Amino acid sequence: MAILVTGGTKGIGLDIARAFAEPGVDVFLNYASDDGAAALAKTSIEARHARCHLIKGDVGTPECAAAVIEAVKRECKQLDQLVHAAVKPYITSALEADGHELAQAVGVNGLALQYLVRAALPLFVPGSTVFFLSSRGGRMVIANYVAVGISKALAESLVRYLAVELAPRGVRINCVAPSVVDTDAVRTLFGHKTDDIMRHAASDNPSGRAVAPEDYTGLIRYLASPAAAFIQGQVIYVNGGHNLMA
């Protein structure tokens, strides 16, 4: 089995990669710049006796995304799981956003899903699955989150379009939206407010706690299994019911 995770050397992406890492599995971790974090991630994957391949590169353009997939092709003949978890956290409001920087962020955070899936088509087999990591910012306004929020909304729609075209190939795509997780990207976006946000994520949740890695990794493992063969093109929230509250 082979899995590619963009943004796979930190945070949610690394959590997902670890959940699939086991003997005989090829784990491809794509990252943009932090070589130190990549080395640590590789060690943690190999500790689970999986084969780990690091792929450094930005996925925000069709050419760069294709180069990442080409690196996978050099090692494997098929790709069983593709997870797009990479985030470019550009902090800005809508009216103050620089057009070029906003376009770059949307490329990485949203459009890269199409770039990656299109490039990976020759590697997919019946049963392959694709995942996009979304957030509530794709459906409601969060201060200075526009570059990520509109990207998530775009990609959630793209998931539905891709699902209809991938289904005849026996390939599935779904979107998983955990509640807020304490990651480097979240701390970049919210700075000194992050600790308060994380406390409220637990205290305000009707389930009485914040989301844990096993909540979303367990769901993704299930969705990647034959038991979920008829779940296609969905956005599934993993937040203990927090999105149900006004």
pLDDT at residue 150, as a whole number? 96
Question: What residue spans define the domains of the chain?
Answer: 2-238
In the predicted structure, residue 93 carries a pLDDT above the cut 90: yes
Question: Model confidence over 3-12: pLDDT tens digits?
Answer: 999 999 999 9
| Cβ 42 vs Cβ 54: under 8 Å | yes
Which has the minimum average pLDDT: 83-87, 168-172, 198-202, 206-210?
A: 198-202
Nearest to 44 by CA among 27, 24, 69, 68: 27
Q: Give the mean pLDDT of the chain.
A: 93
| Cβ 14 vs Cβ 44: under 8 Å | yes
Question: Model confidence over 174-210: pLDDT tens digits?
Answer: 999 997 777 777 777 777 778 787 777 777 888 888 8
> Does CATH place domain 2-238 in 3.90.226.10?
no
Give me the mean pLDDT over the 156-169 stretch.
Answer: 98
Angle between helices 99-106 and 146-166 in degrees, nearest 10:
40
Looking at the chain, the whole-number percentage of residues with pLDDT higher than 70 is 100
Amino acid letter for position 244: L
